[in-house]
A and B are shown apart, each in its own frame.
Chain A
């Protein structure tokens, strides 16, 4: 089962390695990982997506909490959280397709952030489903390159 774990951690060298070490030592693959500092420059916010069952998740959360560098850790329930991911998509524009392409981008509220003679770079933010749908629609134009940021999450309320 796909899980999203949200942590606040000390913004210090080694903190990330300590955290990812707990995953790698147990053979758990990290699906995505984002880290950046928060409004408090001494703290980082981290969102980790993993595929785990309930029992394994419970153990992992406790081990994460045990780390001195981890200040808070929770597994977010998608129903009570806002989850977003950023996508950059470089797509070819053949003559005659430009208008349709831009219209479809508009439907997704994607923005054009770079224009060249052969391609556009589109930027899209949304949850996983929206991003997946967007990619499916734009496959027909010919995707040159695709980058996803990995998920960031925050509990609601």
Chain B
């Protein structure tokens, strides 16, 4: 059947099961928008292309499906780049379509022309410039296949206007053949056997679990492994939700703003089981001092992550869920022969040591009756939502507090720009997440600095009456910048002061949304109890203690045990017999 490029586009998206796309139109992609006008696929008009990419990201992370974003050529496409780069760093499956000037004009500095495949080459898993309509169907098929398989990631397809408009015979490629792309899904059985023995022989094992657990839907297997082998679990920022925070074996998050006890456990362990992680500098701190006594197992789908930052003893390349399921079966079979009285005693001793560290220094802050502490805001959200909400965040102090003080129960309920750290992520990601999971409460925890980067997206919230709850942790600073300036730059607050800021509640009102300004602790609880689970969108501008810091904190370049613990913990620890040594 002969079809136009635009018809092929719609048909291919339909076959990929795409029901919603996030975008912003413009000249070079108008033919596709004309076709979208009466297509079944829902298009959500974002107010800035960056937000379209973040929304597709939020959609993908909340659902596990491929998120789709689109924009026009030139500035439309360049505005997408931050969102694409964020998705790339966090391995989020996305397909991005950009309009391009007609192929005859490419390279002439035509109006709204940019070399989009050139610009996005280093921040996509792969990208395409389609130069013949005959290639369109195959390209879209490949793009979705690449985005969701192997290590997921964003794939961009650049579509010149004439390619959208011309006709060709439509042949849907049922099969994808990419000879240079062969993701390894199943781990080497011999390596898995070695890992099982290492886990059973270890006296002080720790699991270090990351985003790969979420991406592979491996949380159930992870919990099974931890419980069977009685191994405590620290998660990365990306791995939050992959293991329940309140599980007795949970060490919460590790790394720069991780828990003191997670960092202690990792530093003292004799076996580190790294699962779906990439030994990021925010986790490891000074590499030479990271888990120095430990043998290391590393399970990851991307061979390029093995031995990248840290040399490991037992590498297992494969999909986390599949590897863990084989590993768990093997472990179960061999557990009996290892599980002697001595084994039990050793595990007990290790878990007791960890329990002691947890008692000595949990996440803690000074509660104040006169001023709202940001950590307490997160605790209130955790209490009211019971860990059942999807949280999205911006980037900065509020993000770290949310990571530290929320009680995570489920995978895909924590959506944050981890690797790239893109401010302005929270609101658009929450919008995307709602289109994936309208059944769950969705809360965007924003910084006052970050929020101002994408707050125009309130229009989308208003347009679709999305029952988001937007909680601005407002300290009238670029808080994380200010914290670094306080600690490392002699308190010289260069360009981090946001005292001149709008009234966010009024901004919400301007969009026809309910907005509240909260200044006193006693107001917060009542308001949250009334409104946090409301069926309407609500914005809370929560004025918090302005100069509160995120603790504990590993200074950049230091070992992860060299944490700045903060005033509250210092008091606590002075009374505790646990030593930092």
List A residues at the B interface (Cβ < 8 Å): 9-10, 13-14, 17-18, 21, 25, 55, 58-59, 62-63, 65-71
Give me 11 A-to-B residue pairs in the complex whose CB atoms sit less than 8 angstroms apart, sorted by A's number: A13-B129, A17-B118, A21-B122, A25-B122, A59-B308, A63-B304, A65-B303, A67-B126, A68-B125, A68-B181, A70-B180
Is B178 an interface position by the 8 A CB rule? Answer: yes
Sample of 9 further A-B pairs with CB below 8 A, known A14-B121, A17-B121, A71-B180? A9-B180, A18-B121, A25-B122, A59-B307, A63-B304, A67-B126, A67-B180, A68-B125, A69-B180
Chain B min CB distance to A16 (Å): 11
Is B499 an interface position by the 8 A CB rule? Answer: no
| Beta-carbon nearest neighbor of A13 in chain B | B129
Contact between A66 and B303 (Cβ–Cβ < 8 Å)? yes
Chain B min CB distance to A64 (Å): 9
Chain B min CB distance to A3 (Å): 17
Interface string of B112-138 (1 = CB under 8 A from A): 000001100110011101000000000
- In the bound complex, how far is the Cα of B308 from the Cα of A67, in angstroms? 17
Chain A min CB distance to B352 (Å): 39
Q: List A contacts of B125 (CB < 8 A).
A: 68
Q: List B contacts of A25 (CB < 8 A).
A: 122
- Please list the 3 inter-chain residue pairs (A to B) with the smallest Cβ-Cβ separation, ordered nearest first: A62-B304, A71-B180, A68-B126
| Beta-carbon nearest neighbor of B305 in chain A | A62
Contact between B303 and A62 (Cβ–Cβ < 8 Å)? yes
Contact between B304 and A66 (Cβ–Cβ < 8 Å)? yes
Interface residues on B, range: 10 to 19
List B residues at the A interface (Cβ < 8 Å): 117-118, 121-122, 125-127, 129, 146, 178-181, 302-304, 306-308
Q: List B contacts of A63 (CB < 8 A).
A: 304
- In the bound complex, how far is the Cα of B128 from the Cα of A10, in angstroms? 13
**A14 and B117 in contact, given A9-B180, A59-B308, A68-B126 (Cβ under 8 angstroms):** yes
Q: List B contacts of A13 (CB < 8 A).
A: 129
| Beta-carbon nearest neighbor of B142 in chain A | A68
Contact between A58 and B180 (Cβ–Cβ < 8 Å)? no
Partner of B121, one of A10, A21, A66, A70: A21
| Beta-carbon nearest neighbor of B183 in chain A | A66
- In the bound complex, how far is the Cα of B307 from the Cα of A50, in angstroms? 21
Partner of A68, one of B117, B129, B180, B306: B180
- In the bound complex, how far is the Cα of B146 from the Cα of A58, in angstroms? 24
Contact between B121 and A71 (Cβ–Cβ < 8 Å)? no
| Beta-carbon nearest neighbor of B180 in chain A | A71
Chain A min CB distance to B267 (Å): 24
- In the bound complex, how far is the Cα of B349 from the Cα of A125, in angstroms? 69
Contact between A10 and B304 (Cβ–Cβ < 8 Å)? no
Contact between A68 and B146 (Cβ–Cβ < 8 Å)? yes
- In the bound complex, how far is the Cα of B462 from the Cα of A37, in angstroms? 56
- In the bound complex, how far is the Cα of B178 from the Cα of A70, in angstroms? 10
Q: List B contacts of A70 (CB < 8 A).
A: 180
| Beta-carbon nearest neighbor of A9 in chain B | B180
- In the bound complex, how far is the Cα of B482 from the Cα of A125, in angstroms? 63
- In the bound complex, how far is the Cα of B88 from the Cα of A25, in angstroms? 16
Q: List B contacts of A9 (CB < 8 A).
A: 180
Q: List B contacts of A69 (CB < 8 A).
A: 180
Q: List B contacts of A71 (CB < 8 A).
A: 179-180
- In the bound complex, how far is the Cα of B126 from the Cα of A25, in angstroms? 16
Contact between B304 and A59 (Cβ–Cβ < 8 Å)? yes
Chain B min CB distance to A68 (Å): 5
- In the bound complex, how far is the Cα of B308 from the Cα of A69, in angstroms? 22
| Beta-carbon nearest neighbor of B155 in chain A | A68
Chain B min CB distance to A55 (Å): 8
Q: List A contacts of B306 (CB < 8 A).
A: 62
| Beta-carbon nearest neighbor of A10 in chain B | B180
Q: List A contacts of B181 (CB < 8 A).
A: 68
Q: List B contacts of A59 (CB < 8 A).
A: 304, 307-308
**A68 and B178 in contact, given A13-B129, A14-B117 (Cβ under 8 angstroms):** yes
Chain B min CB distance to A18 (Å): 6
- In the bound complex, how far is the Cα of B302 from the Cα of A72, in angstroms? 16
- In the bound complex, how far is the Cα of B181 from the Cα of A70, in angstroms? 8
Chain B min CB distance to A17 (Å): 6
Chain A min CB distance to B544 (Å): 39
Q: List A contacts of B121 (CB < 8 A).
A: 14, 17-18, 21
- In the bound complex, how far is the Cα of B306 from the Cα of A69, in angstroms? 21
Q: List A contacts of B307 (CB < 8 A).
A: 55, 58-59
Chain A min CB distance to B107 (Å): 12
- In the bound complex, how far is the Cα of B87 from the Cα of A138, in angstroms? 56
| Beta-carbon nearest neighbor of B303 in chain A | A62
Chain B min CB distance to A12 (Å): 10
Chain A min CB distance to B98 (Å): 15
- In the bound complex, how far is the Cα of B117 from the Cα of A14, in angstroms? 8
Chain B min CB distance to A5 (Å): 15
| Beta-carbon nearest neighbor of A58 in chain B | B307
| Beta-carbon nearest neighbor of A22 in chain B | B122
- In the bound complex, how far is the Cα of B181 from the Cα of A130, in angstroms? 39
- In the bound complex, how far is the Cα of B371 from the Cα of A68, in angstroms? 54
Q: List B contacts of A14 (CB < 8 A).
A: 117, 121, 127, 129
Q: List B contacts of A67 (CB < 8 A).
A: 126, 180
Q: List A contacts of B117 (CB < 8 A).
A: 14
Q: List A contacts of B180 (CB < 8 A).
A: 9-10, 67-71
Q: Which of A59, A66, A67, A70 has the most CB of B within 10 A?
A: A66
| Beta-carbon nearest neighbor of B179 in chain A | A71
Q: List A contacts of B308 (CB < 8 A).
A: 59
- In the bound complex, how far is the Cα of B301 from the Cα of A66, in angstroms? 11
Chain A min CB distance to B148 (Å): 14
Chain B min CB distance to A147 (Å): 29
Q: List B contacts of A58 (CB < 8 A).
A: 307
Chain B min CB distance to A56 (Å): 11
Chain B min CB distance to A120 (Å): 41
